Structure 1
Amino acid sequence: MGIERHMPGRQPRTRIQKKNTETILEAALDVFSQHGFRGATLDQIAKAAGLSKPNLLYYFPSKVAIHRALIDGLMQTWLDPLRKMRADGDPIEELLAYVLRKLDMAREYPRESRLFANEIVQGAPNIMDKIEGELKDLVEEKAKVIEAWIATGKIAPVNPYHLLFSIWSTTQHYADFDAQVRAILHPEGDSHFTDAAEYLETLFRRMLTP
């Protein structure tokens, strides 16, 4: 599953234009995930993309436009794992599957996770509309599902919102604090994600089992 990329304004008409758009967004992802929105510059993005600044501005009129294109695509990918949680499935298994999907995202999309984290740390100035809109709506929808499971005794009583927050924090940690994790564990490749999956499955299963 890849991150969808949406270009604001005019759409690329040729193969070269599409390729350059993707190159810019890939470069911007690196720059934004390292420096945050405030620390990133168009010059840095253009250099990382191997393009001139005027060429970059042909595709995106501003740093805000590039950042917004990345965030728009990221939000859809970010929400997919939660959307897949089914109300008619086994409650504990559905929640554990969600935990593992989020952990997989931390492994597969570390730059995207750090981009999102940097934006939130700065007060979410560019994506607050999405957090208060589609993200909040989806969380409230799934919170009602979790509350229904609790009411029927299928899972132990928990605060559904804080349950979701704890899933986010325990899984995204492996992307946002990757350097710290690797400095402590010195894993071979991504082997620590296997251990993390086993640990988190045990943690949440014990907490959720009635």
Structure 2
Amino acid sequence: MKPRPRTRIQRQNRDAILEAALEVFSAQGFRGATLDQIAAAASLSKPNVLYYFASKEAIHLALLGGLMDSWLAPLRALDPAGEPLAEILGYVRRKVEMSRDFPRESRLFANEILQGAPRMLDAIEGELKTLVDEKAAVIRAWGAAGRIAAVDPYHLIFSIWALTQHYADFDVQVRAVLGPGHDPFAEAGQFIEELFTRLLAPDARAH
């Protein structure tokens, strides 16, 4: 028997809970967050929250599941048939845009990893690793063919993650150091693209 479809109010309440939880989890981490905080942020009672989600962990898992799909989409879009440098720089650009547009999601993911990924380890060892292995093979083949500099593809991907997500996870620090009058994400995008353009130029290792 199929479950009954959610009513409009049920969809709105569920979305409100997830939005509130994203705000609370990204600020407090999983351990620091409470159902009371989530309920208050959602303008719902705690029993009402528990009607939609059995526990704080269930809410967290729902957020992480949606986040994994969004987080992997730019890497999935890297096209083996495309021009190598353009494909990699396109990935870099999309990651900078995600850090700019979804900073709470980035911090949620970072907090989960810092805690040892207790709720995401299966997805990381499964879906994430499979995708990274696939794209690493593409990047390695491009290097072997001389279409880009031959670099370790895994550490290239890790470097892209580190350089782009830093601007979401350490936004306060970045803005404090740069001071007023700067657009961190515009400046970062330009700098990071130039950095990887130089690194990946086919003759980069010849100098």
Matched residue SS, 2:117: coil
Q: Is the 8 A contact 2:92 2:160 kept in 1?
A: yes
Find runs of 4+ consecutive structure 1 residues off by over 4 angstroms. Answer: none
Q: Does 1:184 find its partner at 2:177?
A: yes
Equivalence for 1:200? 192
Q: C-alpha distance in 1, partners of 2:133/2:180?
A: 37
The structure 1 residue matched to 2:85, chosen from 72, 92, 107, is 92
Q: Which of 144, 147, 150 does residue 154 from structure 1 map onto? A: 147
Q: TM-score, normalised by structure 2?
A: 0.94
Bigger mean CA deviation after superposition, 38-47 or 97-106: 38-47
Count of paired positions: 200
Deviation at 1:192, TM superposition (A): 2.0
5+ long unaligned stretches in structure 1: 1-9
Work out which of the two has the higher radius of gyration on C-alpha atoms and give 1 or 2.
2
- 1:138-175 C-alpha deviation (Å, 9 max, x unpaired): 00000000111011010111100000000000000000
Structure 2, unaligned runs of 5 or more? 203-207
Residue aligned with 2:6, SS: coil
1:11 CA drift (Å)? 7.2
- Aligned 1:45-194 pairs, distance under 5 A: 45-188=38-181, 191-194=183-186
After superposition, the Cα gap between the structure-2 partners of 1:11 and 1:52, relative to the gap in structure 1 and judged at 3 Å, is farther
Quick one: distance in 2 between partners of 1:169 and 1:195?
16
Q: Distance in 1 between matches of 2:37 and 2:4?
A: 24
Q: Output the aligned Cα RMSD.
A: 1.2
Query: Is the alpha carbon distance of 1:141 and 1:56 closer, same or farther for their aligned partners in structure 2, counting shifts above 3 Å?
Result: same
